[in-house]
């Protein structure tokens, strides 16, 4: 971050480099209400689409899980942007970095566990069958 | 009324735990009596127990860690002697007791010995090095410490009331399930580790926030001392990995208490899932411990070589590299579980790659010494011993990272020797170096160097005499955790190892003597300047012991090695900078919420262990109500008057000016 | 800025915003370091450490990440064990999508009202803050009751976590989320009392920021649960 030291705008007192806690911004209440409305609207659409798709035969069956996951990720994004005020702006650098680290960890644990345990199940006899073999 | 608890829980029939606990209880009662008779309670309550000062909390963490290290070391002595006498013989420890001992040894050494020491060092040093007055959440810091202490207390209560787990330090199911371990041992483990895990998480969050959001003016990321970087990485790993432990142990708790089927071997449970999840915590945990240790060595090598750290930026990069990659290697702890070659290959390669980051660091430390004016003070001895020990440990680690080789050495004494090689050589040596290095900052006088050197050499030689035989035994096929041995040809090596333990005991005694002698001779060892080692980072800009507000005026950092710059300017101009304008300081007020929460957590844990449901409910409600009452307080800070600040800081400046004059008289100045 | 809250009448939100901008910690380390630059020594650190508001929010954000990691372990357990029915019922046989839809609606709306309450907090409006907090709590209560009804219903049909590994993972994951909502509700009630009695003191607002984050995070976790456990589970 050392290049910021010479940022003329910062030196001139134009505070374009701010810092905010997540979910917190120095904005008027109206901004919050607008964001809440937008977030709610998008969420309703995405949730309704997910519930509708799950029970429908509108699209090719095996694709439905993929579509559901995409919708879920989209809605999580909507929540992050409109409810938690996570942006790509410089005021959010630390928040986004922490979030990215968390997503990485969650991905490693979930994907790693599924991968490892899946291979194990393929290679090894299931536990209940092994138990039955014991005298 | 008392759940499963009755008089049979007290081990009347087992002389060893009974006598140990009676002695322990007498010692504790004696200490309490002395404190009461001398009337020290108000002082202790005011200055330590309710203190939210990061330095006090750091010292208490270290004290807890040292006491627990000694407890764990006692377990180690019993294990080595048992194996040495139980060759074609039953030995003196029956299997059910021996199993508790090796479980307690691992649990205590990692979770209640090394962890508190590492957390304590981070707590003590990070705010000082960053030039700030406390961590981000001082009161939570106190809560975190007392929860860790609560967990340690529960583990030690198991000595006297009931039993400890017999499952090994990670309670693998199905052995740890109720069907195979119906007693309270595993429950003691679960609740003790859960409670202290919450404390660790709090400290992790605290340090992350402190390093990222609370640095003194001018302290940008690439000016932070390497210890702060390693503390940040270690804390990030705490935040990422400890929840995995919490979740895994919660699942095991559900299995044991409510008959769930997470890890059972019936009804679709999957015991290997526990192994998978617990190592997803366990491997990062290794780096949680060793990264701050690397930070300590970076500080020590640079200070005692009189040179800036070689390759500062590569050091930072290597630290962050290790931080991320350490989340991707956990399968190497269970290559033999039967995953496919593809899985084993991936984790084998990632485990070898992580050694690259460590290699970068080793070279940086060696190049730091190269061309420097090396002073062989005690911290430096530990650090040089570390380089030698850790390289051997790291090389055997790379060997174990190769899956086919691991199939031969898995669960053997070779493995035992390897991880002691890295944890003792890496973490414990660093802790002793750090205790010696920062002791004057905490207490105002140095530790006696002669006894410190004796302790180092005894520990270094004792370590190698103890663990080299274990490598050989492992290659000869001896597995770990054997209560008795049926191969007389192993006997010579086990005897050699026992001799090593004897040398280590002398080393521990030297440490204790060092502390006693140093306290006796404290006036002779007094650090009047606050900068006993010719240090380079900001903690040495404060007097020793550092005042509770750390810095009278927040430092303004103008480059790397913040204090070195200030000092060099003072030496060049032969005078201190102008006296700053002092202002009143606001500091957080003391709070009893930490010990209050920990008390009820201990009660809650104990009640859950013994199935005393009403007591658990009472403790939970009491903890919640206490928390709300605490949150209701209106006064969070008190003001230190400007006269007080000025008085303390003028004393510091006078000491430094005296030092400058003395240097001038000696002709040491340019 | 003293600890006794806002001056009589209160600052307008925009003025408060500008004040916080002036305390921006990112100028930390980026100021000219001349001798003429005074360094505040009050521990609040206008030039050094971040303001308490940012510290608290960021620290809680880190805590939330650790909480999400806990959930991810339970998700992983569900993913690994969702086929382990051990002769018991499958996911498709235990899901009632209508109830899940109502639960989802309740939680989503509570997230919305929670945010409106924080908007009211920013506008220093005590009545609407409390009103929306109450609404949030009631919607959370509806959610918890619906979930409890589901569990009781299932238990009545002999479907308990003790039956199979799949049901263990299902009850564990959904129950953990329900426990979080319940604890969040206790926190919410405490916060309402604190706001009512103490008004918008700094530390109260900081706690409201944290509560807001917590509640939204629970909704994000619920998106994962209704998608992976209920929709994909029942479809399979």
pTM for this entry = 0.90
* CA R_g for chain A: 23
A14 lies within 8 A of chain C by CB: no
Q: How far apart are CA C152 and CA C175, in angstroms?
A: 12
B132 phi-psi bin (left φ>0, alpha ψ -120 to 50, beta other): beta
Q: How far apart are CA A100 and CA A83, in angstroms?
A: 18
Where is average pLDDT lowest: B321-330, B384-393, B554-563, C98-107? B554-563
Residue A69 has which token pair?
């996951």
Return mean pLDDT, chain B: 90
Sign of CA dihedral C158, C159, C162, C163: positive
pLDDT digits (tens, 9 = 90+) for A97-107: 889 999 999 99
Neighbours of chain A (3+ CB pairs under 8 A): B, C
Residue among C39, C69, C172 minimizing CB distance to B243:
C69
Residue of A nearest to B281 (CA): A109
Closest CA to A18 of B560, C53, B224, C115: C53
Q: What is the pLDDT of residue B292?
A: 95
Whether residue A88 is predicted with pLDDT greater than 70 in this model: the reply is: no
Residue among B268, B277, B580 minimizing CB distance to C164:
B268
Q: How far is C226 from chain B (nearest CA, A)?
A: 20
How many Cβ pairs within 8 Å bridge chains A and B?
Answer: 65
Residue B467 has which token pair?
């663990």
Q: How far is A128 from chain B (nearest CA, A)?
A: 6
Q: How far apart are CA B185 and CA B276, in angstroms?
A: 22
Q: What is the pLDDT of residue A134?
A: 62
- List of chain B residues whose C-beta atoms are within 8 Å of the C-beta of residue A91: none
Q: How far is A50 from chain B (nearest CA, A)?
A: 29
Whether residue C217 is predicted with pLDDT greater than 90 in this model: the reply is: yes
Which residues share a beta bridge with B479?
B412
C32 lies within 8 A of chain B by CB: no
Task: Please count the residues of chain C.
Answer: 236
Q: What is the pLDDT of residue B661?
A: 83
In a mutational test of the C interface, the residue from B281, B554, B560, B633 whose CB has the highest number of chain C CBs within 10 Å is B554
Q: What is the pLDDT of residue C24?
A: 38
Sign of CA dihedral B115, B121, B122, B124: positive
C65 lies within 8 A of chain B by CB: yes
3-state secondary structure at position B120 = helix
Residue C44 has which token pair?
């609040």
3-state secondary structure at position B87 = strand
Residue of C nearest to B134 (CA): C43
Looking at B549-592, list the stretches that DSSP marks H as alpha helix, in order from N- to C-terminal side: 562-573
In degrees to the nearest 10, what's the CA dihedral of B107, B111, B114, B117?
-140
Interface of C with B in 67-86 (CB under 8 A): 67, 69-70, 73-74, 76-77, 80-81, 84-86
Mean predicted confidence (pLDDT) in B587-592 = 89
Q: How far apart are CA B187 and CA B166, in angstroms?
A: 11
A45 lies within 8 A of chain C by CB: no
Whether residue C177 contacts residue C221, with contact meaning beta carbons closer than 8 Å, is answered with yes
Residue C111 has which token pair?
């997230």
Residue of A nearest to B337 (CA): A120
CB-based contact A106 C16, cutoff 8 Å: no
Whether residue A31 is predicted with pLDDT greater than 80 in this model: the reply is: no
ipTM for this prediction: 0.92
List CB contacts of B454: < 8 A, sequence separation 6 or more: B507, B510, B514
Whether residue B220 is predicted with pLDDT greater than 90 in this model: the reply is: no
Return mean pLDDT, chain C: 79
**Residue pointed to by tokens 């330590």:** B48
Neighbours of chain C (3+ CB pairs under 8 A): A, B
Q: What is the pLDDT of residue C41?
A: 28
Closest CA to B234 of B213, B255, B205, B261: B205
In a mutational test of the B interface, the residue from A108, A109, A126 whose CB has the highest number of chain B CBs within 10 Å is A109
Hey, how many other C-beta atoms are within 10 angstroms of the C-beta on B312? Answer: 21
pLDDT digits (tens, 9 = 90+) for C181-206: 999 999 999 999 999 988 888 888 88
Residue of A nearest to B343 (CA): A116
Q: What is the pLDDT of residue B572?
A: 78
Q: What is the pLDDT of residue C5?
A: 35
CB-based contact C165 B262, cutoff 8 Å: yes
pLDDT digits (tens, 9 = 90+) for C122-168: 888 889 999 999 999 999 999 999 999 999 999 999 888 998 889 99
Whether residue A42 contacts residue C108, with contact meaning beta carbons closer than 8 Å, is answered with no
Whether residue A135 is predicted with pLDDT greater than 70 in this model: the reply is: no
Cα B622 to chain centroid distance, Å, stands at 30
Whether residue C66 contacts residue B239, with contact meaning beta carbons closer than 8 Å, is answered with yes
Closest CA to A108 of B666, B142, C96, B326: B326
Confidence of residue B428 (pLDDT cuts 50, 70, 90): very high
- List of chain A residues whose C-beta atoms are within 8 Å of the C-beta of residue B212: 94
Half-sphere exposure of C173 (CA within 13 A, CB side): 30
Q: How far is A116 from chain B (nearest CA, A)?
A: 7
CB-based contact A40 C108, cutoff 8 Å: yes
Q: How far apart are CA A76 and CA A97, in angstroms?
A: 17
Q: What is the pLDDT of residue A129?
A: 66
pLDDT digits (tens, 9 = 90+) for B516-537: 999 999 999 988 888 888 889 9
CB-based contact B337 A112, cutoff 8 Å: no
In a mutational test of the B interface, the residue from A105, A111, A132 whose CB has the highest number of chain B CBs within 10 Å is A105
Q: How far apart are CA B470 and CA B499, in angstroms?
A: 13
- List of chain B residues whose C-beta atoms are within 8 Å of the C-beta of residue A117: 270, 272-273, 276
- List of chain A residues whose C-beta atoms are within 8 Å of the C-beta of residue C56: 21
Which residues share a beta bridge with B586?
B639
For chain B, what percent of residues have pLDDT higher than 70? 99
Q: How far is A44 from chain B (nearest CA, A)?
A: 31
Q: How far apart are CA B333 and CA B237, in angstroms?
A: 18
Q: How far apart are CA B199 and CA B144, in angstroms?
A: 4
Q: What is the pLDDT of residue B414?
A: 94
Mean predicted confidence (pLDDT) in B85-104 = 90
- List of chain B residues whose C-beta atoms are within 8 Å of the C-beta of residue A104: 324, 327
Residue B242: C-alpha distances to residues A110, A115, B101 (Å): 15, 22, 25
3-state secondary structure at position B52 = coil
- List of chain A residues whose C-beta atoms are within 8 Å of the C-beta of residue C119: 29, 32-33, 36
Mean predicted confidence (pLDDT) in B83-99 = 89
Look up residue B574 and give its DSSP letter.
Answer: T
For chain C, what percent of residues have pLDDT higher than 70? 79
Q: How far apart are CA A81 and CA A79, in angstroms?
A: 6
Tell me the pairing of strands B585-588 and B637-640: antiparallel
What DSSP letter does each residue of B405-453 carry, written as one string?
Answer: HHHHHTTBHHHHHHHHHHIIIIIIHHHHHHHHHHHHHHHSBPPPHHHHH
**Residue pointed to by tokens 């770990």:** B480
Number of helices (H), then strands (E), belonging to chain C: the values are 8, 0
Whether residue B289 contacts residue B359, with contact meaning beta carbons closer than 8 Å, is answered with no
Q: How far apart are CA C63 and CA C69, in angstroms?
A: 10
CA angle B463, B464, B468 (to 5 degrees): 125
Hey, how many other C-beta atoms are within 10 angstroms of the C-beta on B476? Answer: 14
* CA R_g for chain B: 25
C169 lies within 8 A of chain B by CB: yes
Whether residue C146 contacts residue C102, with contact meaning beta carbons closer than 8 Å, is answered with yes
Looking at A5-89, list the stretches that DSSP marks H as alpha helix, in order from N- to C-terminal side: 8-11, 29-54, 64-78
**Higher-scoring residue by pLDDT: C47, C34:** C47
- List of chain B residues whose C-beta atoms are within 8 Å of the C-beta of residue A116: 276, 331, 339, 343
How many Cβ pairs within 8 Å bridge chains A and C?
Answer: 177
How many Cβ pairs within 8 Å bridge chains B and C?
Answer: 186
The angle, 0 to 180 degrees and rounded to 10, between the axes of the packed helices B95-107 and B185-213 is: 10
Whether residue C100 is predicted with pLDDT greater than 60 in this model: the reply is: yes
Where is average pLDDT lowest: A118-127, B366-375, B439-448, B649-658? A118-127
Q: What is the pLDDT of residue C125?
A: 86
Residue of C nearest to B278 (CA): C73
Residue B342: C-alpha distances to residues A120, B154, B283, B403 (Å): 11, 42, 20, 11
């Amino acid at each position: 971050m050392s290049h910021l030291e010479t940022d003329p705008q910062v030196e001139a007192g134009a505070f374009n480099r701010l810092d905010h806690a997540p979910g917190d911004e120095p904005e008027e209440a109206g901004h919050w209400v607008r964001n809440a409305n937008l977030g709610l609207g998008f969420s309703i659409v995405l949730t309704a689409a997910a519930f509708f798709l799950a029970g429908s035969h509108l699209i090719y069956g095996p694709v439905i899980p993929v579509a559901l996951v995409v919708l879920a990720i989209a809605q999580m994004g909507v929540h992050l942007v409109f409810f938690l005020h996570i942006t790509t702006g410089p005021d959010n650098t630390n928040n986004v970095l922490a979030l990215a680290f968390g997503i990485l960890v969650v991905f490693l644990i979930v994907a790693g566990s599924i991968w490892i345990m899946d291979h194990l199940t393929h290679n090894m006899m299931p536990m209940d069958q092994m138990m039955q073999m014991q005298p | 009324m008392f759940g499963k608890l009755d008089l049979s829980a007290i081990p009347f029939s087992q002389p060893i735990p009974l006598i140990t606990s009676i002695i322990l209880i007498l010692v504790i009662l004696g200490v309490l009596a002395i404190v009461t008779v001398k009337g020290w309670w108000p002082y202790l309550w005011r200055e330590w127990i309710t203190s939210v000062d990061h330095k006090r909390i750091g010292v208490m963490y270290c004290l807890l860690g040292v006491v627990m290290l000694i407890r764990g070391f006692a377990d180690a002595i019993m294990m080595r002697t048992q194996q040495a006498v139980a060759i074609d013989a039953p030995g003196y420890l029956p299997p059910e007791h021996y199993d508790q001992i090796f479980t307690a040894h691992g649990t205590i050494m990692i979770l209640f010995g090394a962890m508190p020491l590492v957390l304590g060092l981070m707590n003590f040093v990070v705010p000082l090095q960053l030039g700030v007055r406390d961590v981000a959440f001082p009161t939570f810091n106190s809560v975190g410490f007392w929860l860790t202490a609560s967990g340690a207390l529960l583990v030690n209560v198991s000595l006297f009331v009931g039993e400890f787990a017999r499952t090994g330090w990670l309670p693998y199911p199905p052995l740890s399930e109720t069907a195979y371990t119906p007693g309270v041992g595993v429950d003691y483990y679960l609740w003790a580790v859960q409670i202290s895990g919450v404390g660790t998480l709090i400290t992790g969050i605290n340090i992350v926030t402190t390093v990222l959001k609370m640095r003194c003016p001018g302290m940008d990321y690439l000016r932070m001392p390497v210890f702060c970087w390693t503390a940040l990485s270690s804390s990030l790993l705490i935040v990422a990995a400890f929840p995995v432990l919490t979740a895994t142990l919660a699942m095991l708790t559900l299995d044991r208490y409510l008959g769930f089927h997470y890890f059972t071997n019936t009804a679709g449970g999957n015991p290997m899932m526990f192994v998978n999840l617990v190592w997803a915590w366990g491997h990062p945990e290794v780096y949680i411990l060793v990264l701050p240790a690397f930070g300590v060595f970076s500080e020590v090598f640079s200070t005692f070589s009189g040179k800036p750290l070689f390759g500062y930026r590569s050091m930072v990069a290597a630290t962050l590299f290790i931080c991320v990659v350490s989340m991707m290697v956990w399968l190497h702890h269970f290559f033999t579980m039967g995953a496919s070659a593809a899985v084993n290959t991936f984790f084998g390669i990632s485990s070898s790659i992580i050694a690259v980051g460590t290699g970068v660091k080793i070279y940086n430390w060696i190049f730091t010494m190269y061309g420097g004016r090396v002073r062989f003070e005690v911290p430096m001895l530990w650090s040089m011993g570390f380089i030698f020990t850790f390289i051997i440990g790291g090389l055997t680690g790379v060997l174990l990272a190769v899956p086919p080789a691991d199939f031969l050495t898995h669960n053997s004494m070779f493995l035992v020797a390897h991880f002691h090689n890295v944890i003792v050589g890496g973490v414990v040596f660093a802790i002793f170096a750090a205790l010696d290095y920062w002791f004057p900052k905490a207490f105002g006088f140095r530790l006696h160097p002669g006894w410190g050197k004796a302790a180092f050499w005894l520990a270094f030689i004792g370590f190698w005499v103890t663990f080299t035989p274990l490598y050989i035994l492992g290659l000869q096929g001896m597995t770990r955790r054997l209560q008795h041995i049926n191969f007389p040809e192993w006997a010579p090596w086990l005897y050699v190892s026992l001799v090593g333990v004897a040398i280590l005991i002398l080393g521990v005694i030297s440490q204790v003597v060092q502390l006693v002698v140093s306290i006796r001779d404290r006036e002779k060892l007094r650090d009047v300047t606050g900068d006993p080692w010719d240090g380079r980072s900001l903690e040495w800009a404060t007097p020793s012991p550092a005042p509770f507000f750390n810095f009278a005026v927040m430092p303004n950092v103008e480059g790397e090695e913040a204090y070195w710059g200030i000092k060099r300017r003072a030496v060049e101009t032969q005078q201190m900078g102008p006296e700053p304008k002092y202002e009143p300081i606001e500091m957080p007020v003391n709070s009893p919420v930490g010990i209050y929460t920990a008390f009820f957590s201990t009660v809650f844990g104990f009640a859950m262990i013994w199935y005393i449901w009403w007591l658990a409910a009472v403790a939970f409600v009491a903890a919640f109500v206490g928390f709300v009452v605490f949150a209701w307080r209106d006064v969070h800070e008190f003001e230190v008057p400007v006269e007080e600040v000025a008085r303390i800081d003028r004393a510091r400046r006078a000491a430094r000016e005296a030092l400058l004059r003395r240097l001038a008289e000696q002709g040491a100045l340019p | 800025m003293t600890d006794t809250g806002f001056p009589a009448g209160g600052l307008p939100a925009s003025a408060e915003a500008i004040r916080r901008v002036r305390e921006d910690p990112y100028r930390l380390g980026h100021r000219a370091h001349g001798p003429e630059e005074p360094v505040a020594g009050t521990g609040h650190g206008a030039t050094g450490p971040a303001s308490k508001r940012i510290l608290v929010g960021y620290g809680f954000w880190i805590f939330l990440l650790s909480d999400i990691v806990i959930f991810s372990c339970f998700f992983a357990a569900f993913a690994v064990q969702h086929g382990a029915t051990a002769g018991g019922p499958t996911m498709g046989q235990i899901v009632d999508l209508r109830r899940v839809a109502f639960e989802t609606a309740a939680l989503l709306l509570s997230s919305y009202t929670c945010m409106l309450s924080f908007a009211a907090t920013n506008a220093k409006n005590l009545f609407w803050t409390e009103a929306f907090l109450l609404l949030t709590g009631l919607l959370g209560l509806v959610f918890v009751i619906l979930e409890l009804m589901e569990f009781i219903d299932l238990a009545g049909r002999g479907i308990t976590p003790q039956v199979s590994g799949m049901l263990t993972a299902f009850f564990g994951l959904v129950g953990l989320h329900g426990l979080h909502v319940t604890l969040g509700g206790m926190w919410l009630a405490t916060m309402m009392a604190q706001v009512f009695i103490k008004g918008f003191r700094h530390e109260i607002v900081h706690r409201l920021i944290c509560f807001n984050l917590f509640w939204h995070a629970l909704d994000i976790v619920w998106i994962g649960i209704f998608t992976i456990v209920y929709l994909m589970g029942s479809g399979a």
